[in-house]
Amino acid sequence: MALDIPGLSISLAFSLGAFAGGGWWCLRRLAQARLLLDTPTSKIRSAAQGYVELYGVLHSLGEGPLLAPLTGKPCLWWRYRIEQYSERGKNKSWRVVDSGVSDAWLRLADATGECLIDPRAAEVRPATRERWKGSQRHPRGGLVAGGLSGWLGSGEYRYTEERLHAGEPLYAIGDFHTGGGGHQGLDLATAQGAVIREWKGDFAGLLQRFDSDGDGQLGETEWQRVRLAAQLEAEDRHRRASVAPAVNQMRRPRESQPFLLSSHGEDELARHFRWQALAGALLCVAGAVATVYLLRVTGLL
């Protein structure tokens, strides 16, 4: 029997992809679950610089609440997705036609202090999640259908909106850094170079300040004056930053560690990751079995 090389190649690609992808996902989620459980919860005031785990309550930044784009409800963070129903013959599916996520900073507080969180690139798991259907591409706040009626309602569009609200608990794990308040050391060479690069952005202004002979360029003596002035400016900026109030911030880690923001605690997150790891393991096993079966059927094994 002649081998269907193209068909076999596609089948093997899918089975090997399932094997490799499922195994990678299983190991990744197990490692993340272990990391969450092994990282102790820190108090904001005494948290070490670097990768930390915090638990507190969300508060408004004082600039007024955001309005979620689909429902118009006030919140501190939102994420939405709009899907359109499509039917082509026997193929029926929901296709994403619009989506978005808030990049507004969050303010987390515990009994010891506050921390500002940049949610960009974070895996956010909010407690509030609404889904409903409608006939408009972009719904308005008054059209939200709640409960089972929203799920079963007719309409070619399906809307999903997730939100974080003030007063809700939040679990956060990521890269923690404190600026100001005397926490910052001074790398004079780096700071001086940053000031010079900033000044070069306005080279006309740099010439006006330091081109003493008016020839339209900076000689060696003039560059020495630039470097000295930049050093003094860097030292002055450091002094001002040192006397400013300390500001705690959390961002995405530079390493491959997870950056998570969740309305649920670490135990529930770790349990969810383990279920995902199990799904990855099952996919990996299915891919391995399918690969062996294909190779045996074709006589290649």
- For residue 206, what pLDDT is reported? 84
- For residue 274, what pLDDT is reported? 84
Spatial strand order of the sheet with 157-164 comes to 91-101, 77-88, 157-164, 128-134
- For residue 148, what pLDDT is reported? 42
Helix axes 188-200, 220-243, angle to 10 degrees: 110
The single-letter code of the amino acid at 234 is: A
- For residue 3, what pLDDT is reported? 58
250, 172 in Cβ contact below 8 A?
A: yes
Structure tokens at 232: 């003094």
Return the C-alpha torsion angle 288, 293, 295, 296, nearest 10.
140
**β-strands 74-75, 66-67 pairing:** antiparallel
Find the distance separating the first CA and the last CA of the chain, reported in whole Å.
16
Query: What does pTM read for this prediction?
Result: 0.65
Rounded mean pLDDT for each run of 10 residues along the chain, 301 residues in total: 68 86 86 79 90 94 84 94 86 89 94 94 93 85 43 70 95 89 69 88 85 81 89 85 79 88 82 84 89 78 65
d(CA 234, CA 231): 5
- For residue 152, what pLDDT is reported? 46
77, 119 in Cβ contact below 8 A?
A: yes
- For residue 220, what pLDDT is reported? 85
